[in-house]
Amino acid sequence: MTQRGSHDGRLVGDRYRVEALMGRGSMGAVYRAHHVLTGRAVALKIITHGGAYSELAAARFKREVSVRAFVGHEGIVEVLDAGQEPDGTLYLAMELLEGETFQARSSRPGFTAAYGLQVVRAVLEPLAAAHELGVVHRDLKPENVFLHRRPPATGGDGVEVVKLLDFGIARDPRQQSGTRTDVGLGTPYYMAPEQATNAKAVTPASDVWSVGVILYWLLAGRLPFAEDTPFNTLAAVCGRPHAPLPTSGGPRTQALVALTERCLNKEPELRPTDAGALIAALDAIFGPQASLPPQDAPPRGASMSGPWPPALPARTLTADREARMV
């Protein structure tokens, strides 16, 4: 959905004409725009300069541009251009996606665990490509998984593909991280215990935990940890076991339950090591990946029994607060 925004009509980078606001986050906004010479429609992320908080936003912005280009997988939104205006405004031109997030899709009538599992399997492909290069996403959640339909009107084939979004807080092995060791970085519902206590301690197994949270929800209809506040949620993540999943069902369901429990082991070395290992485990249960079903016809199966929690931005937590969790 687009709406009016303060940048409508503005020319950015001497080549992108802003058309409408698409969405606003904690550190910037994304607009629909077009290249004034080629006419190509793009998604244009803009970070306005000013203040200490904007310095953090700029650092994350630059990291996102660098990591996306570094990984360069078709399941990651393509970076087309990036630059900085004379007033300090940063901009990033990306391929324009048509569709909705995994979180939005899950609220539709008829959404099923079977369909959700196929989405999870698909997003593991770009995540595995990132892990192979030593990149850890650190904020994998349904809001950062996009179901994009390549529109025939722009030369697409109408097929729906899964895209992994937002590498703004990813750990990049090529760079000296600016993240303090006493800060947890991520979204509480999906954050691994080691990530909550030390953002620099993350490994690909930390992203595997986040995948495990999504799998748990697909199986149980609720999240493994969802307390009344982000702080209390992380306290539970770090200090309490989750409710066990039911073990009823056929052999494949039981195997998926066992895999999900492995993903949610509080000891990272006891989880599948990375997204590639998780792909192998899922394919051993269900067979190789198949194409996603059509957008308007999710597969048959039991509908999910509960909604995702409210959208939360990635957060940071200082060491003295974390010390009280455990």
DSSP reduced 3-state for 173: coil
**Is 139 among the residues known to form the active site?**
yes
Neighbours of 325 (CB within 10 A): 18
Q: How far is CA 126 from the centre of its chain?
A: 11
DSSP reduced 3-state for 233: helix
DSSP 11-54: EETTTEEEEEEEEEETTEEEEEEEETTT--EEEEEEE---SHHH
Say how far apart CA 20 and CA 22 lie, in whole Å.
6
Active-site option among 8, 81, 87, 139:
139
- 296 dihedral zone (left: phi>0; alpha: psi -120 to 50; beta): alpha
Write phi, then psi, for 209 (nearest 5 degrees): -55, -45
Residues tagged active-site: 139
